Amino acid sequence: MMAWLSRRLRRDWHGDGGAFTLMVLTFAAALFLMVGLAVDGGGRLTALARADDIAAEAARAAGQAIDLPQAINGTADVVHQDAAQAAAQAYLRDAGVTGNAQVIDGGHAVKVTVQVVYSPKLLGAIDPGPWTETGVATAQLLTG
């Protein structure tokens, strides 16, 4: 009786030919890819939000560097170009990112562009990165 059962089990399992192993490998790879997309996709979104936030704060800091002689005389309410760029660069340096600042609109606004680097945690084997996210913000000088 046991010999018959043993032959039957061997015959039944022999016909699969490793299909179960292939299925497990496929599901494992798909699961790894989904988790990697969630982790690294979230990381990229966080890096983009950080770049936008830093750009906004650097533009705000640069917008506070007004040209005092012109403002006191009542000639014009504009930012001092060199001081605004220096204030933005100091903020970017303290935040540990790279970027640049431009005085635009005749000195009535400052535009800051920031680059934040994100290195993938799980998908590095597929796309080794690093990925650079760019944030842009403009601070408008308001008077009145």
Q: What is the pLDDT of residues 18-37, one digit of tens each?
A: 667 888 899 998 999 899 88
**What confidence score (pLDDT) does residue 34 get?**
92
Nearest to 136 by CA among 102, 104, 112, 109: 112
Q: What is the pTM of this model?
A: 0.76
Does residue 2 lie within any of the structural domains?
Answer: no
Q: Cα–Cα distance between 15 and 29 in angstroms, integer?
A: 25
- What percent of the chain is modeled with pLDDT above 70? 86
Which residues span the domain enclosing 90? 15-140
Whether 144 has a pLDDT exceeding 70, the answer reads: no
Helix axes 81-95, 19-63, angle to 10 degrees: 150
Q: Within a domain: residue 3?
A: no
Query: In the predicted model, is pLDDT for residue 71 greater than 80?
Result: no
pLDDT greater than 80 at residue 15 = no
Q: Which of 97, 19, 20, 30 is nearest to 58 (CA)?
A: 97
| Distant-in-sequence, close-in-space partners of 43: CB < 8 Å, separation ≥ 6 | 118, 120, 121
Residues ≥6 apart with Cβ < 8 Å to 56? 112, 135, 137, 139
Domain-located, residue 126? yes
Sign of the CA dihedral with 52 first, then 53, 54, and 57 last: positive
In angstroms, the CA 112 to CA 101 distance is: 4
Domain count for the chain, please give it: 1
User: In the numeric block, which tokens belong to residue 143?
Assistant: 């008077």
What average pLDDT is seen over the chain?
Answer: 85
Q: Which of 8-22, 39-53, 70-84, 130-144 has the highest mean pLDDT?
A: 39-53
